[in-house]
Chains A and B, each alone.
Chain A
Amino acid sequence: KNEVEQSPQNLTAQEGEFITINCSYSVGISALHWLQQHPGGGIVSLFMLSSGKKKHGRLIATINIQEKHSSLHITASHPRDSAVYICAVRKKLTFGTGTRLTIIP
């Protein structure tokens, strides 16, 4: 079993929908990262969380340390949000396999 599990693996939604991507982990961590990988391959850091909730524009990330679970939400989704979203947990930085999000206009 992977230390970091993401769900769903693939998600297709209509423009404007509220999106939730989940990340569960099985190890004790000091922090969790959400990353975005664009179709061209580049990886961008979105959030680093150690507790609670963070918001940046239309993106919201939450973490529950006791339940070993984090979620990434996208409000008012747009086709430019189409990407692979990756959760990574800070031990030696272990990555999930990613969630491929496609937003249809």
Chain B
Amino acid sequence: NAGVTQTPKFRILKIGQSMTLQCTQDMNHNYMYWYRQDPGMGLKLIYYSVGAGITDKGEVPNGYNVSRSTTEDFPLRLELAAPSQTSVYFCASSYHRTGGEKLFFGSGTQLSVL
């Protein structure tokens, strides 16, 4: 299993440009998440999904969109990039079972908007 795969690892955008951060997992997890991590701050939830076709907003959804057409893929779309979206982005997935939940994280995408 590859786990959670995020691409790209690094990206520089100009203000107003658009891009999609890709996230895929091969563990058949229902739950998937997108977080951003700003320096000195905790991870903030952008969007999450509890299964294919179902998405919901997290704490900081403005400026982002997601879709979940398959169990494996959960792309994050930035439509009009702004400097405030400069951050490190993490995708995660989890399964829930008796006794708890196990979280798996992608390696992160460092995004700079200039």
Q: Which A residues lie at the B interface, using CB under 8 A?
A: 2, 4, 31, 33, 35, 41-45, 48-50, 86, 88, 90, 92-98
Contact = CB atoms under 8 A, between A and B. Distances in A.
Contacts of B108: 41-43
A92 B101 contact: no
Main secondary structure of the interface of B (DSSP, over half): strand
A90 B43 CA distance: 13
A43 B105 contact: yes
A68 to B, nearest CB: 17
Interface residues of B, number: 23
Nearest 6 Cβ contacts at the A-B interface: A95-B42, A43-B105, A48-B100, A95-B43, A45-B103, A97-B42
Interface of B: 33, 35, 40-45, 48, 58-59, 88, 90, 92, 100-105, 107-108, 110
A25 B73 CA distance: 32
Given A42-B108, A95-B43, A97-B42, A35 B103 contact: yes
Contacts of A4: 42
Contact of B102 (A2, A45, A50, A95): A45
Contacts of B41: 97
B103 A96 contact: no
